[in-house]
Amino acid sequence: MEIRKTSNPEKNRSFKNKHFYNLRDYSLVGISYTLLTIILTYPVFFKIKTDIPGTGADSFQWMRILWYTKIAIKEANLAALTHDSLLFYPNGIESMPFSSAFNQVLYVLLSPFLELHVIYTILWLLTFIIGAVGSYFLVKYLTDNNYAAFIAGIVFAFSPYHFSRGLYFFGAATVQWIPFCALYLMKTVKEEGIKNPVLAGIFFILVAMSDLQYLIFMGIFAGLVFFYDFYLTLRSRNNFTHSVKQIIIKYLFFGGVAFLGVLPLTINEILIALSKQNFLRPNINEIPKLSNDLMSFFLPSHLHPLLGQFTLDLYSNIPSWPAERVNFIGYIVLGLSILALLKSRRKPDIKFWFVTTFFFTIISLGPILHFNGAVAFTDSNLKIPLPYQILYNTIPFLKNCRTVGRFFVIATLGYSVLAGYGFSELLKYKPDRKKLIFTIVGFLLVFEYLSIPYPTTQVSVPDFYYKISNDKDNYAILEIPQNSNAGYMAFQDLYYQTVHNKALVGGYSARYPANVGDFQRKTPFIKELQYYSLGTKDILKEDVTDIGTSVLNANNIRYVIVHKNQLSSDQLEFVTNLLNKTLKTEPDVYDEDGLIVYRVPDETIQPFMLLGKGWNRLENWDGTMTRWISNKATLSVYSGVAENAVLKLNACSLHSPKTLEVYNGKTLQSKQNISTNLSTVNIPVTLNQGKNVILLNVPEGTERPCDFPELKNNDTRKLSIAIQRVRLIHSPED
């Protein structure tokens, strides 16, 4: 006999009604958080066409990161995701391809329809809306209380931590996927099956796609959840072996999904971190500075419209960056968290969230306790070490995390959960007054976290950059000043590149190799423009005003753009005098934008020289600049045409006569005998058009001054020949 399943109309109708009401409730929650976001971030939404949220600074760099992702994908011949050739021209810089992949992908998808700064603002606003919804779902699951869940959403999404990082740290502001990952990790603990671990893994990937530091923080949180699951299994004492097997299976699925998604995002950073040239690792002295100050947990934000005027001076005592200083928990949140502990401390979930929140709060304080900017206490300068140092030495890749204070983002989620538990307990006192209590607590909470009017920055672009954006030629531009931003380029100049699409000499990056600025530091004429000085004399005898135009043309630099409002009067005078004397052309002046623009004359390149590798430090020998070489050194010579020339220099060997072999590439040009007495040497060389790498080779090798008692010199360097007064004679007139 065939047995057929029959449907129950009443049950199906009830099921559909439940889903309808859930959808309606969740829609109301989403709309409510959207309205709250528009209100609490005022006037960001209303200035979306002209301004971006925050105070500018790194926000301009983040917009460039979004733009560069599209350039690297669509114009592979011009740029690459792992090597940014449009900054620090001509050498480029190794880049982190997916510093915030979620935002980068959405920008690429939305860019055909909206302007860059509008997309940036939309993505920024979504961090509040989605973050609040995620925290709501998490606490709704844990407490089964809509009011408590809504309060928790406010605590997490509109925390002073979030508002403060949102001033200009876009990656750090992208917090919205953290509560979703936590939700499905908690479901993994409480429910059977592999659906929740898989979803937790997917949201873990989204956290990694938000900010790579949050990847590590969320990984630590997942580890705590794993141990919590084991703890509950031990506590239950039911079929321990089977339960452990189920736990291992669940977290293998979670780890497998997370690993497969995260590896492509981080493989470039992993390879750099494992290399000897790990430029991602910050200076150890930066870590205490960028750790949280204990006082910041109890100090209302300086963005608060009423309280900020009283706390601003106190925040100035904290040595961290302004956007990293604020970590106010809120006294309403602290009160609700304490109530949760007092009323429900026996519940395992409350214990877990308390331990987790306390752990991440303490870790965010860094390796040593700070209070009001001080790290030493009592008359004996007592310093209090903290547990972060243990994590620093044990967790892989944590040494690459510079902003330790951002560990507090997980603590912020923890406080939202504890506040949700506490609020659910509070409602039990007056269950018939839920809406009134909700309104009062919500109002007080919002007041403590208030940051309106939220700062915004106008995103205007000078007309000149739109003008050259129509030029389809590939060339570079040189912005002056080059070093106004902690030794690097102004953030606005990075944003202007998203309009003109030309390579920039110099630039800015959060992490960079030590040699990233070598071109600017070592290239004649460009070096003088960077340091506003004709510079320290070196062994190359060249007049920068004679070779400056050739230097720019040889490196395909078509424009020099002077931002006169960013220079002092002395700096502006030096720069304009040098450019006028060198380029011998009238600049275009854009007074409204504060720009003086020089078009580099297209002239035949006159030969000029650059020191390459293998040269020792500069020494002053009775007023003459001198450098030693070891057994090899290089000298780059640029020439506009193929020609014969002469390198004329003064040289002497260290202790015994030596042979100096001179190569252009692999071709031997000349052999010269160098005595121990300083003398003039003329070296004929054949130059090719373009760049010539001249190799100076000493086949006899090196000697150390300390090995010869008669020299009475303790110098342990390996040296061969000293060279000074290098001149390039490239015409009969010379």
Residues 183 and 322 in one domain: yes
Res. 10: pLDDT tops 90: no
Higher local confidence (pLDDT), 296 or 236: 296
* Residue type present at position 576: T
Domain ranges, residue 646: 608-729
Strand pairing report for 456-458 and 51-53: antiparallel
544 in Cβ contact with 524 (< 8 Å): yes
Q: What does the block give as tokens for 92? A: 């480029």
What pLDDT shows up at residue 8? 56
What pLDDT shows up at residue 720? 95
Residues 310 and 419 in one domain: yes
Angle at 287 between CA 282 and CA 290, to 5 degrees: 115
Q: Exposed (0-12), middle (13-18) or buried (19+): which is 315, by Cβ within 10 Å?
A: buried
Using 50, 70 and 90 to split pLDDT, how confident is the model at 20? low
What pLDDT shows up at residue 4? 39
What pLDDT shows up at residue 17? 57
Based on C-alpha coordinates, what's the Rg of the chain?
32
What pLDDT shows up at residue 648? 95
What pLDDT shows up at residue 69? 96
Res. 6: pLDDT tops 60: no
List Cβ neighbours of 367 (8 Å cut-off, separation of 6 or more).
287, 288, 291, 385, 386, 388, 389, 392, 404
Residues 442 and 502 in one domain: no
Mean pLDDT of 197-217: 97
Cα–Cα dist 454/130, whole Å: 19
**pLDDT tens digits, 288-336:** 999 999 999 999 999 999 999 999 999 999 999 999 999 999 999 999 9
Which of 599, 620, 642 is a domain's end point? 599
What pLDDT shows up at residue 396? 80
Cα–Cα dist 96/79, whole Å: 13
**pLDDT tens digits, 41-63:** 999 999 999 999 999 999 999 99
Please report whether residue 455 resides in a domain: no
Residues 484 and 502 in one domain: yes
Which of 599, 622, 639 is a domain's end point? 599
Angle at which helices 331-344 and 408-427 cross, to 10°: 60
pTM of the model: 0.91
Q: Looking at mean pLDDT, say which of 284-298, 435-449, 522-536 comes out highest.
A: 435-449
Using 50, 70 and 90 to split pLDDT, how confident is the model at 535? low
Mean pLDDT of 368-388: 91
What pLDDT shows up at residue 651? 97
Which of 530, 565, 599 is a domain's end point? 599
Residues 394 and 537 in one domain: no
Mean pLDDT of 490-510: 93
List Cβ neighbours of 616 (8 Å cut-off, separation of 6 or more).
627, 628, 629, 630, 717, 719
Mean pLDDT of 365-392: 91
Cα–Cα dist 450/446, whole Å: 6
What pLDDT shows up at residue 570? 94
**pLDDT tens digits, 94-135:** 888 999 999 999 999 999 999 999 999 999 999 999 999 999
In the sheet where 595-599 sits, what is the strand order? 503-504, 476-480, 557-563, 595-599, 588-590
Please report whether residue 686 resides in a domain: yes
**pLDDT tens digits, 538-581:** 899 989 999 999 999 999 999 999 999 999 999 999 999 999 99
Please report whether residue 82 resides in a domain: yes
Please report whether residue 27 resides in a domain: no
Residues 142 and 47 in one domain: yes
Please report whether residue 72 resides in a domain: yes
Residues 410 and 513 in one domain: no
Mean pLDDT of 621-642: 93
Cα–Cα dist 489/504, whole Å: 10
Angle at 463 between CA 459 and CA 468, to 5 degrees: 115
Using 50, 70 and 90 to split pLDDT, how confident is the model at 12? low
Q: Is 193 left (phi over 0), alpha (psi -120 to 50) or beta?
A: left
556 in Cβ contact with 475 (< 8 Å): yes
Residues 614 and 528 in one domain: no
405 in Cβ contact with 165 (< 8 Å): no
Domain count, the chain: 3
Please report whether residue 18 resides in a domain: no
Please report whether residue 370 resides in a domain: yes
Higher local confidence (pLDDT), 73 or 16: 73
Cα–Cα dist 544/135, whole Å: 61
Residues 51 and 147 in one domain: yes
Res. 9: pLDDT tops 60: no
Cα–Cα dist 682/646, whole Å: 6
**pLDDT tens digits, 645-657:** 999 999 999 989 9
**pLDDT tens digits, 664-714:** 999 999 999 999 999 999 999 999 999 999 999 999 999 999 999 988 899
Residues 133 and 163 in one domain: yes
Res. 14: pLDDT tops 60: no
Angle at 90 between CA 88 and CA 94, to 5 degrees: 55
Please report whether residue 180 resides in a domain: yes
Residues 415 and 296 in one domain: yes
Alpha carbon of residue 630 to chain centroid: 38
Res. 252: pLDDT tops 90: yes
Residues 481 and 434 in one domain: no
Using 50, 70 and 90 to split pLDDT, how confident is the model at 235? confident
What pLDDT shows up at residue 310? 94
Q: Which CATH number do you get for residue 685?
A: 2.60.120.260
What pLDDT shows up at residue 730? 72
Using 50, 70 and 90 to split pLDDT, how confident is the model at 734? very low
466-473 — which CB contacts under 8 Å span 24+ positions?
466/499, 466/500, 468/500, 468/502, 468/559, 469/499, 469/500, 469/501, 473/558
Cα–Cα dist 267/261, whole Å: 11
Mean pLDDT of 136-156: 97
What pLDDT shows up at residue 140? 97
The mean pLDDT of the chain is 92
